[in-house]
């Protein structure tokens, strides 16, 4: 009896702690989504008679196809690069204890402190042949003029590099943290059984942190799909028009604020919500990500704790 009351008390505290999140979720997540859906059928210059044709109109927009190509191309580079590089670096960082490790960890976090907006400026300078600190490297590849770099077909690579350096450091540390959660007994047992470092990494560690990897993949995917700041800044600030409506989010922004087509912009935003939502549902229901802090706790244990 006393125990039950103890849990009840915990629940109250839980809701209290949850309430700021729930409020923000409602006002900045659910409510805008509802308003967005209600906005779609209203008439606009592009959809003069109004109605749910807005979805059709936005999919047939002449910029939709290119935006899809750009974003898929960008994600085709960015997402695998992130996952392989981050996991590889985290596993290597986890191999041995050494006094260098904390410096290494700091080295990973430094590039991550450069946010997307600043990264645009940094990479502009690095890639601009007249300003670049790596002039020699650029010259080796016969790049002497900025027009060789800032072309539309190069943007997927440039933006993938920008996004990769801005995001990789943080994820390396997070995955390093997830590797730390593996119980030392398991690793000890592997070592006693004669597993090499490579085998331990691939056969033991990777399966144990797989749910964190899925979690990261979903977040990286959703983030990549919604790329906006980098191309928008390039377009407005550095090369006028080079990345106009380059990504879906930019197209949505242009529809709303340059063409006054709020309905079309909402339709596109709702379309973009679907893959991200599916990703989130995948994490919640198909992995045991949110079923306990430790991967090896069984479901039954979790239920007991939750009562």
Task: Please give the residue ranges that form the binding site for another protein (CB under 8 A).
Answer: 43-46, 48, 61-63, 130, 145-147, 150-153, 239-242, 244-245, 256-260, 262
Shortest distance in whole angstroms from residue 229 CB to another protein: 17
Under 8 Å between Cβ of 238 and 120: yes
For another protein, the closer of residues 213 and 265 by Cβ is 265
C-alpha span between 273 and 29 (Å, rounded): 11
Angle at 228 between CA 166 and CA 135, to 5 degrees: 50
Shortest distance in whole angstroms from residue 233 CB to another protein: 14
Shortest distance in whole angstroms from residue 73 CB to another protein: 16
For another protein, the closer of residues 44 and 175 by Cβ is 44
Shortest distance in whole angstroms from residue 118 CB to another protein: 19
For another protein, the closer of residues 138 and 222 by Cβ is 138
Under 8 Å between Cβ of 220 and 167: yes
Under 8 Å between Cβ of 27 and 205: no
Angle at 79 between CA 75 and CA 83, to 5 degrees: 175
For another protein, the closer of residues 200 and 245 by Cβ is 245
Q: Give the phi and the psi of residue 54 in degrees, each rounded to 5.
A: -50, -40
Q: What is the DSSP letter of 162?
A: H
For another protein, the closer of residues 104 and 238 by Cβ is 238
Nearest to 80 by CA among 248, 213, 191, 177: 213
Shortest distance in whole angstroms from residue 152 CB to another protein: 5
Report H helices in 28-98. 31-39, 53-59, 64-93
Going by C-beta distance under 8 Å and a sequence separation of 6 or more, which residues neighbour residue 42? Answer: 50, 262, 263
Shortest distance in whole angstroms from residue 135 CB to another protein: 14
For another protein, the closer of residues 70 and 205 by Cβ is 70
């Amino acid at each position: 009896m006393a125990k039950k009351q103890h849990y009840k008390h915990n629940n109250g505290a839980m809701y209290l702690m949850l309430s700021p999140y729930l409020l923000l979720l409602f006002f900045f997540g659910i409510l805008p989504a509802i308003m967005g859906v209600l906005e779609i059928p209203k008439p606009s210059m592009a959809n003069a008679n109004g109605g749910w044709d807005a979805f059709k109109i936005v999919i047939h927009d002449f910029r939709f196809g290119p935006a899809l190509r750009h974003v898929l191309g960008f994600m085709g580079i960015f997402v695998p690069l992130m996952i392989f590089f981050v996991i590889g670096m985290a596993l290597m960082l986890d191999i041995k204890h050494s006094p260098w490790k904390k410096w290494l960890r700091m080295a990973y976090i430094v590039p991550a402190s450069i946010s997307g907006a600043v990264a645009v400026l940094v990479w502009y300078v690095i890639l601009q042949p007249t300003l670049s600190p790596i002039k020699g490297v650029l010259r080796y590849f016969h790049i002497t003029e900025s027009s060789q770099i800032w072309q539309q077909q190069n943007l997927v690579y440039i933006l993938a590099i920008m996004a990769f350096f801005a995001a990789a450091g943080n994820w390396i540390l997070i995955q390093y943290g997830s590797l730390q959660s593996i119980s030392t007994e398991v690793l000890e047992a592997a070592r006693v059984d004669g597993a090499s470092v490579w085998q331990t990494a691939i056969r033991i560690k990777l399966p144990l942190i797989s749910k964190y990897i899925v979690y990261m993949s979903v977040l990286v995917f959703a983030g990549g799909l919604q790329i906006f700041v980098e191309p928008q800044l390039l377009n407005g600030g550095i090369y006028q028009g080079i990345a106009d409506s380059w990504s879906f989010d930019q197209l949505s922004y242009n529809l709303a604020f340059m063409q006054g087509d709020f309905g079309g912009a909402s339709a596109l935003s709702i379309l973009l919500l679907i893959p991200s939502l599916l990703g989130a549902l995948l994490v919640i229901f198909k992995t045991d990500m949110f079923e306990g802090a430790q991967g090896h706790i069984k479901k039954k244990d979790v239920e007991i704790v939750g009562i």
